[in-house]
Structure 1
């Protein structure tokens, strides 16, 4: 059992960056049990043997999906969304007024609540954004999560988590016991499956990257690699938004955190102080 679990940990780390603690064998057993039953495999050892035998890419993907944590909800932790509306977006509207184009990447979108929350904020500011092209790319490692995000259909429990009733009534329609987000918001987001261990070159340049609550599942070398790759894909005056429990400190010199506004990080340039830069706060 121990050797099988260690082999599974190594496979997960190699294919997805997930760093599963050595004490989490029970978690693997629990999450993979339905799969083992469906495949008529007696235990984890048999599943890992099949995974390592080659030619089972779909099964590996299914295992990664099962082991991926997709905990999320609308406007999660609220502060990053307030910072986006009050600080990041106004600054970008000023900085990009000549090109009138903004690109946003939600790098671990899970089942879509984060990019849809951003799309709602942008729609609320539609008057300011008239004539602008704002693109949201939302990616996740999990095929199941991305498919759910594309569908945009949420349970009563999911829409009650963080979503104000006014936005529920404005942007969703009820279908039986579930709620479907409207087509206008869906059309503003491109959902794709993407592995953060992959090459980022084809993604293009971004003005804002939301990478929240995913690096906590990676080991230090993987965190550094992801952050350094993101630094190459973000505009020199762009913004990296991370989770409340995450930091760039001690991981990369490519970004520096802002001293006052939690979750905001900016690319470090020759003119960027090591301990943060002032950001213009716009009331509203």
Structure 2
């Protein structure tokens, strides 16, 4: 019996992932499916990915379907990823929000598709250092499709390899404690972050309203209609003068014309157009 994933099996996986997460796996991604699902096949005592797919197709199991989908979502992340969206937060966005809000009014930020939490805690550290009383004024909502990633965000623990990926040493000293072989984020920062599961392609629970949304390196995995729908739903949970940060390869231009692009440093942010 062959253990290689044949075209019908690959097509089934693509349909499952698209149905459950709206992520599009293009032809030619068979290698990715094999690599991501092989650990799951081995955990289940199976010879390979083809046997895993055959089993789930013949004996549908929602729990295994979920594990397949989560294995095929991209959880690449690091501290201060791409730089500008974070320096802009303290240099431009927070001063603008302070000028437009009442003194000590709460600032609500959403880190969508937060992976294991580095983005949410990067935001928290920046604001803790830049904004007096941030622990009581800033609320960061972190969401992800993956149950495992949400659990990791809540735990706020990171390996040495993870903290080496972009985290400045002074911030590590100020905001982390060594626990065995891992680094744990300070309790005050963990209290600023609330993590929960959310599928961007599905209905949004009661969220917001948000002053700032980080929706970075997510839209690239969706087809144009899904991008447009996600942007529409995001706009509905933002304040009218809110700020949206996308990934460097993403834009609202040509997708949803109810946003305006605002140059910020070497990058850009997006804001709802007036009347939308």
Give the TM-score taking structure 2 as reference length: 0.91
- Structure 2 residue aligned with 1:36, among 36, 41, 44? 41
* RMSD after superposition: 1.9
- Structure 2 residue aligned with 1:163, among 167, 176, 180? 167
Distance in 1 between the 2:137 and 2:240 partners? Answer: 20
C-alpha offsets along residues 99-151 of structure 1, whole Å, 9 cap, x if unaligned? Answer: 71221110111000001011011111232758x63211000011111111111
**Residues 251-260 or 26-35, more deviating:** 251-260
- In structure 2, relative to structure 1, the CA distance for the partners of 1:95 and 1:129 (3 Å cut) is farther
- In structure 2, relative to structure 1, the CA distance for the partners of 1:53 and 1:95 (3 Å cut) is farther
- Residue 281 of structure 1: aligned partner: none
Distance in 2 between the 1:46 and 1:144 partners? Answer: 24
- Structure 2 residue aligned with 1:107, among 91, 98, 112? 112
1:16-165 → structure 2 map (5 Å cutoff): 16-53=21-58, 56-97=61-102, 100-127=105-132, 129=134, 133-165=137-169
- Residue 15 of structure 2: aligned partner: 10
- Structure 2 residue aligned with 1:206, among 210, 228, 239? 210
- Residue 192 of structure 1: aligned partner: 196
Shift, 1:50, TM fit: 3.8
C-alpha offsets along residues 190-226 of structure 1, whole Å, 9 cap, x if unaligned? Answer: 0001110121251132111100011112222211111
**Residues 91-100 or 225-234, more deviating:** 91-100
Contact 2:16 2:69 in 1 (8 A): no
- Residue 224 of structure 2: aligned partner: 220
C-alpha offsets along residues 177-201 of structure 1, whole Å, 9 cap, x if unaligned? Answer: 2211111110110000111012125
Distance in 1 between the 2:189 and 2:101 partners? Answer: 23
Shift, 1:231, TM fit: 1.1
Distance in 2 between the 1:83 and 1:93 partners? Answer: 14
Distance in 1 between the 2:110 and 2:87 partners? Answer: 17
Distance in 2 between the 1:34 and 1:142 partners? Answer: 16
- In structure 2, relative to structure 1, the CA distance for the partners of 1:129 and 1:152 (3 Å cut) is closer
- Residue 257 of structure 1: aligned partner: 261
**Residues 159-168 or 256-265, more deviating:** 256-265
Give the TM-score taking structure 1 as reference length: 0.89
Contact 2:120 2:193 in 1 (8 A): yes
Alignment size in residue pairs:
270
Gaps of 5+ in 1: 273-284
- In structure 2, relative to structure 1, the CA distance for the partners of 1:184 and 1:99 (3 Å cut) is closer
Distance in 1 between the 2:206 and 2:252 partners? Answer: 24
Shift, 1:176, TM fit: 2.5
**Residues 90-99 or 248-257, more deviating:** 90-99
- In structure 2, relative to structure 1, the CA distance for the partners of 1:23 and 1:183 (3 Å cut) is same
Shift, 1:169, TM fit: 0.4
